[in-house]
């Protein structure tokens, strides 16, 4: 039996599906949950026996690491709804605080200088630990660049808690990417959409470790 942290992915849309699919490719078990459990069951059916569908509360209880692959405002709601179940868990936030604009693009739904990472870290349920991760690429690249050869592509992460280095870097490697920490949560804005370390910001593409080191 693996001694790796147990991972639950909450939300099986673009990002949740990409993360669960990558983890299965990486040989890692994953629990999946969704507002409607039917979608989680369908994904598990498709991906095979490493994937276990559960109701959201049960998924959080069963996991060590909870990836909130849902929209920014939904994460805030879920912090309140599942504050008890989340105690003792590592929360992973891939969110970008954006919504569609009137021109068919996206706009930020928080202040220009604010980040989802900093806002969410100020709202954490008691006894939780927090990492900004798995959101620095679009869902397309998160799928297509996973396990890239000969050099892996990078996923950036930020945290104020050094005890999370091992579980988070393991999670990113099992997704088929090279982890690069950019600093603490106050750096989150750099790896959210429009930031200089986001695929849909100044970075503009996936990067290898050597390229990432020049940017960070």
53 binds ligand NAP (CB under 6 A): no
The least distance separating ligand NAP from the CB of residue 88, rounded to whole angstroms, comes to 20
CA–CA dist 109, 130 (Å, integer)? 21
The answer to whether 64 and 7 are in contact (CB under 8 A) is yes
The least distance separating ligand NAP from the CB of residue 71, rounded to whole angstroms, comes to 5
Binding residues for ligand NAP, total number by CB under 6 A: 24
Q: Tokens 């983890």 identify what position?
A: 23
Alpha helices by DSSP H, listed for the chain, are: 14-25, 37-47, 56-62, 72-81, 83-86, 116-121, 139-144, 165-174, 209-215
204 binds ligand NAP (CB under 6 A): no
10 binds ligand NAP (CB under 6 A): yes
35 binds ligand NAP (CB under 6 A): yes
CA 109 to chain centre: 19
User: Of 26, 53, 117, 138, which lies in the binding site for ligand NAP, with binding defined by CB under 6 A?
Assistant: 138
Both tokens of 83, joined, read: 């504050």
Output 53 or 210, the one with its CB closest to ligand NAP. 53
Output 42 or 50, the one with its CB closest to ligand NAP. 42
User: Of 5, 14, 29, 148, which lies in the binding site for ligand NAP, with binding defined by CB under 6 A?
Assistant: 14
User: Of 59, 70, 131, 154, which lies in the binding site for ligand NAP, with binding defined by CB under 6 A?
Assistant: 70
The residues, any chain, with a CB within 8 Å of residue 191's CB and separated by 6 or more, are: 132, 135, 136, 156, 157, 158, 182, 197, 198
Q: Kindly identify the residues of this chain, within the stretch 77-136, that bind ligand NAP according to CB under 6 A.
A: 78, 94-96, 135
Nearest to 68 by CA among 145, 111, 123, 2: 123
Output 2 or 80, the one with its CB closest to ligand NAP. 80
Q: Which residues bind ligand NAP (CB under 6 A)?
A: 10-16, 34-36, 39, 56, 69-72, 74, 78, 94-96, 135, 138-139
């Amino acid at each position: 039996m693996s001694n790796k942290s147990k991972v639950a992915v909450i939300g099986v849309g673009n990002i949740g599906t990409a993360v669960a699919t990558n983890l299965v490719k990486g040989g890692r078990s994953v629990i999946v949950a969704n507002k409607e459990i039917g979608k989680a069951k369908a994904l598990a059916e498709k991906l095979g026996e490493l994937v276990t569908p559960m109701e959201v509360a049960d998924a959080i209880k069963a996991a060590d690491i909870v990836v909130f692959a849902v929209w920014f405002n939904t994460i805030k709601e879920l912090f309140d709804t599942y504050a008890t179940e989340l105690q003792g868990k590592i929360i992973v936030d891939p969110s970008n605080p954006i919504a569609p604009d009137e021109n068919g693009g996206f706009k930020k739904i928080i202040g220009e200088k604010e980040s989802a990472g900093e806002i969410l870290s100020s709202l954490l349920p008691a006894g939780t630990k927090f990492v900004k991760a798995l959101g620095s690429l679009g869902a397309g690249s998160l799928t297509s660049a996973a396990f890239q050869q000969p050099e892996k592509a990078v996923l950036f992460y930020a945290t104020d808690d050094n005890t999370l280095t091992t579980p988070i870097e393991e999670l990113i490697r099992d997704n088929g990417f090279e982890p690069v920490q950019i600093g603490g949560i106050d750096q989150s804005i750099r790896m959210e959409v429009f930031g200089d370390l986001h695929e849909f910001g100044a970075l503009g593409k996936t990067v290898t470790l050597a390229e990432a080191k020049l940017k960070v």
